[in-house]
Amino acid sequence: MEKTEQLYEGKAKKVFATTDENLCIVSYKDDATAFNGLKKGTIAGKGVVNNRMTNLLMQLLEKAGVPTHFVKELSDRDTLVKKVKIVPLEVIIRNVSAGSFAKRYGVEEGIVFDEPTIEFSYKNDDLGDPLINSYHALALRLATKEEIETIKKYAFKVNEVLKQYFLHLGVKLIDFKLEFGRLTDGTIVLADEISPDTCRFWDAKTNEKLDKDRFRRDMGGVEDAYAEIFKRVTKGE
Ligand code: ADP
Ligand code: UDP
């Protein structure tokens, strides 16, 4: 399958049309941003890690019964996916307090929750992706009730599958962000990516951060962290 015109260039990926109107090609870049684009940089090799890791995890999730947009890995950075209309909600699942949760509620990072939490952000860069509840999402017609129920069900399933999977690799899955989309027939599928850009991963023994927080917080060792988590995931295959 060949790329035709570029449909979109985002902060971390480009999206291309193909000769099949139902398929597109996503191309992963090394560009990194944080704080709604305020902080910019590059992480050498990130595009390759995020592309290949996303594809491995999407295939694992398909097997576990979560439909995804994945079709075929084309190269180190390029993947053929089903074209979707993205539901403009960032779906965030948390197992342990960190990041904006810790800040918002004035608690330390690292509190293990009895049950995972779910929250939505309205995917809108101009507004800074504000937190939104499901009633507001319905009022704004961002998704239907049925779609929100399906998305919640899939998101918790993704958490169960990935939490177990990463624990076997000596990694705690702290939190992550998912995006879902609609196929032309309206079916909801998991889209976008699952990578160290979109998940928090802590080493199970040392709590060392193996994700984008190293970039966000200027901690150094960013490339090494991406390489380490990727090494563990590919060993897990
Ligand atoms: P951003 O838009 O936040 O800068 P990216 O750089 O990751 O993010 O750009 C990729 C874009 O492609 C995102 O807006 C994402 O919602 C969208 N996308 C992901 N998967 C698909 C898909 N299967 N079909 C269409 N668009 C997709
Ligand atoms: N996240 C993301 N994209 C966003 C916001 C958050 O992928 O635009 C991920 C982030 O990597 C983390 C989880 O969602 O794994 C929860 O992020 P949080 O709300 O704590 O926000 P942050 O601290 O990243 O601002």
pLDDT in tens, 86-136: 999 999 999 999 999 999 999 999 999 999 999 999 999 899 999 999 999
Mutate to test the pocket of ligand 1, among 15, 80, 89 (most ligand atoms within 8 A of CB): 15
For residues 199 and 111, the answer to whether their CB atoms sit within 8 Å is no
First to last CA, the chain: 26
Is this structure's pTM higher than 0.85? yes
The residue whose CA is least distant from atom 11 of ligand 1 is 10
Residue 1: pLDDT band by 50, 70, 90 thresholds?
Answer: confident
> Ligand nearest 37 Cα, by number?
1
Domain boundaries, the chain: 3-82, 85-235
Average pLDDT over residues 32-57: 96
Taking only the tens place, the pLDDT of each residue in 139-188 is 999 999 999 999 999 999 999 999 999 999 999 999 999 999 999 999 99
**CATH domain 3-82 topology:** Phosphorylase Kinase; domain 1 (3.30.200)
Shortest-distance ligand to the CA of residue 26: 1
Decide: 11 in ligand 1 pocket, CB within 6 A: yes
Is it true that domain 85-235 has CATH number 3.40.5.10?
Answer: no
